[in-house]
Structure 1
Amino acid sequence: MTRVLYLIACAAGPAQYLDRAVRLAQGRGWEVCVILTPSAAAWWEPRMGELERLTGHPVRFRYKLPWEKDALPKADAMLVAPLSCTSLNKWGAGIADTVALGIPSEAVHMGVPVAVMPFFNQAQAAQPAVPRSVEALRSQGVRVLLGEDGYEPHPPKTGDARAFPWNRALDAMERLMRPGKADCSP
């Protein structure tokens, strides 16, 4: 039986290397579907066909129109990575103005395991909204991988997008899939 992973990326540095994450997840036996924020889609626009060929699915970056059918199979799990500071705070405030936020914000309340791994700098992490947003997501059952068990915010202007820990994010998301092993604590 094939497991379906929605890999959802925001416009943060590691999104440039999303194809690496797709290949890693596929190597673990996942059928991967990619969903992007509109800004991340703009980054991938010249290479969107590459992601579609790699996954065998269209890449979603906008809400579908009322008469359009779902283009993707049902997800067994979702990984939002990289999650930008802006998207973290929007989601934490209940704002789902992009398909990349709307789908996981509903899914977590429908029993779909959702993990997120942010990528932002220490100055952004110092914003008072960040801990409130992290707590809001965790209280809903989202596994937020921030800090020692996930991504440590980097000093401004020093983020290494190429070194984003995709495997750590996938490991944590897969732990959510194990019965009785879901851990949404910090």
Structure 2
Amino acid sequence: MISLIKQQPTLLLFFHGLDSSCETNKFTCIEHTPKYCLTVNYRQGFQLALDTYEDLLQQKMAEYPQIVLVGHSLGGWFANHFAHKYGLKSLLIAPCINPNVVLFNRAANLDDLPFPHHNSQMTKVMIEVNDEILAVATARQTLIKVPESWEVEYFEGGHHRIAREDKIKDYIDELTK
């Protein structure tokens, strides 16, 4: 007799960028279910944001057997941080490589905020080369030697808000298989 136990779906946990929210088009364009985003005011304190996301992730990991992290801009740093910490798959959309530049006066010990890039889990990174916020040259230097499980794609043109919602959907499909 074959057992037909339905597997609980993969949760997509989204981290928005600085001064953004759950209403960002990077989150709303995602059709995957279930998905979740918590609006966090990063300007109230970096450690508070880290603790808030840590608590949220602990809760969601207890509820779902699989989680994929997605983040845009500063949220990309958070997604990458937790993907490395917990060995999770991730999609990093125009990720902030140096949060100390973005939050130079809002967090203690900013030198302790590296952008690790050795997670062995599948990681997709999308960067548009005309991004007016992200230091694309820094991203290229940082992401030059990544594991085979990573795919870093640079798109001609574009901007920081990301013009390629269809590509986000494609990456989500790959990561949630």
Normalised TM-score (structure 2): 0.50
Give RMSD over aligned pairs. Answer: 4.1
Distance 1:170-1:176 versus aligned 2 partners, 3 A rule: same
CA distance change for structure 1 residues 5 and 143 in 2, over 3 Å: closer, same or farther?
farther
Contact 2:80 2:90 in 1 (8 A): no
1:135 to 138, 144, 153: 144
The reply to whether residue 78 of structure 1 matches residue 77 of structure 2 is: no
**Which one scores higher on RCO, CA 8 angstroms, separation ≥ 6?**
1
User: C-alpha distance in 2, partners of 1:16/1:64?
Assistant: 15
Percent of pairs identical after alignment?
Answer: 6
Query: What's the counterpart of residue 103 of structure 1?
Result: 82
Instruction: Report the 3-state secondary structure (helix = DSSP H, G, I; strand = E; otherwise coil) of the residue aligned with 1:115.
Output: strand
Radius of gyration: which is bigger?
A: 2
Q: Could you tell me which amino acid in structure 1 is paired with residue 59 of structure 2?
A: A
Count of residues in Structure 1 that have an aligned counterpart in Structure 2: 129
Distance 1:142 1:177, change over 3 A: same
Partner of residue 115, structure 1 = 91
Unaligned runs of 5+ in 1: 43-59, 92-98, 179-186
User: CA offset at residue 115 of structure 1?
Assistant: 1.8
Matches within 5 A, 1:54-93: 61-64=49-52, 70-72=58-60, 73-74=63-64, 75-80=66-71, 82-84=72-74
Aligned-partner SS, 1:2? coil
Higher helix residue share: 1
Task: Report the TM-score when normalising by structure 1.
Answer: 0.48
CA-CA distance at 1:5 after TM superposition: 0.3
8 A Cα contact 1:116 1:142, kept in partner:
no
Q: Which amino acid aligns with 1:134?
A: L
1:1-186 superposed matches below 5 A:
1-11=8-18, 15=20, 18-25=23-30, 27-28=31-32, 30-34=33-37, 38-39=41-42, 61-64=49-52, 70-72=58-60, 73-74=63-64, 75-80=66-71, 82-84=72-74, 99-107=78-86, 110=87, 112-118=88-94, 120-121=131-132, 124-126=135-137, 129-136=138-145, 138-139=146-147, 141-144=149-152, 146-148=153-155, 152=156, 154=158, 159=159, 161=161, 164-178=163-177
